[in-house]
Amino acid sequence: MKKIVFALFVCLSTLSWSQNKTFSDQTIEKFAQAYIEIRNENMSFQLNKLTAIEKAGLSGDEFTDIHLKLLDSDKKNQLTKSEIDKYNLVKKNIENLKEDIQKNMERLIENQGLKVETYHAIAKASTQDKTLKEKIQKLIQ
């Protein structure tokens, strides 16, 4: 029981410390630069998703319609085998794109001299700290 209480204390202390951590101006600037690059990477990802959909012979609306029908057991039988095959191909391609973008985003963060954990800690802290959020917004505009 003492071990459980101690472990809980350590976890809560660590959580509290990470929430109250302050970041240097240099670290915040690195975060902002990484954020800008990640935002650009995400825009590229969105375009690549649309390209994958179109290469399969679907429009964005058709892909969404198929997706919604697959989620609805009453409408699932309205789909043709061709539509399902195209959907599955796109879904597989998008999953591959997601894996690639995740690796790229981690690389972009690390190229700025930040650890991924630090990037996430700053992002989380900025949702709770108005001053930090404003400082970041000035840097990314």
Cβ pair 41, 111 in contact under 8 A: no
Question: Tokens 């391609």, residue?
Answer: 93
Structure tokens given for 138: 């000035």
pTM (2 decimals)? 0.72
Q: Which domain holds residue 44?
A: 32-140
- Is 133 inside a domain boundary? yes
- Is 136 inside a domain boundary? yes
In DSSP notation, 45-56 reads HHHHHHHHHHHT
Structure tokens given for 47: 């375009």
Residues 67-94: tens digit of each pLDDT? 999 999 999 999 999 999 999 999 999 9
Work out the percent of the chain whose per-residue pLDDT is above 70. Answer: 85
- Is 49 inside a domain boundary? yes
